[in-house]
A = this chain, B = another copy of it.
């Protein structure tokens, strides 16, 4: 089975946002698969996807603190500055975290670990709605 679906994530502020439930609800067909993969792809270069701790909001706040410190808006070497001070750091953060997640599907469910959740990583101050393309492939149950 191959299925593709566009998922639009509503605008969110700069930071790390848990979107596991939103993504799972958009893909009920995952329930039909015995074994498979979900490929989630973000069609932007200033936002990214990662998987991390799904319980504590302070983990997500600390992610923002870390990445803001590691990829500084005031770094002296930026030359691509026309689109604002958050733009070039957003591009770098997006590549450090990556534009896609490949997640296993087993027995009709995303086979995530107990503590794993999907983060939308919004690196712009005002990134707007974000467009994902989900590809589901696998073997029916």
Chain A residues proximal to chain B, CB less than 8 Å: 2-4, 34-37, 39, 41-45, 50-53, 56, 58-59, 61-63, 65-66, 69-71, 75, 77-80, 88, 91-92, 94-104, 106, 111-116, 119, 131, 133, 135, 137-139
Copies in the complex: 3
Judging by beta carbons under 8 Å apart, are A41 and B111 in contact?
yes
A98 cross-chain contacts in B, Cβ below 8 A? 50, 98
Judging by beta carbons under 8 Å apart, are B62 and A78 in contact?
yes
Q: What's the least CB distance linking A126 to chain B, in Å?
A: 16
A79 cross-chain contacts in B, Cβ below 8 A? 58, 61-62, 65
Sample of 9 further A-B pairs with CB below 8 A, known A62-B77, A95-B119, A98-B98:
A3-B35, A4-B106, A37-B135, A43-B112, A44-B116, A62-B80, A65-B75, A95-B97, A104-B135
Give the one of A63, A66, A116 with max B CB within 10 A: A66
Q: Residue of B at shortest CB range from A61? A: B79
Judging by beta carbons under 8 Å apart, are A52 and B95 in contact?
yes
Judging by beta carbons under 8 Å apart, are B59 and A104 in contact?
no
A36 cross-chain contacts in B, Cβ below 8 A? 2, 135
Q: Residue of B at shortest CB range from A3? A: B35
Q: What's the least CB distance linking A63 to chain B, in Å?
A: 7
Residue from B71, B95, B103, B119 in contact with A50 in the complex, judged by beta carbons closer than 8 Å = B95
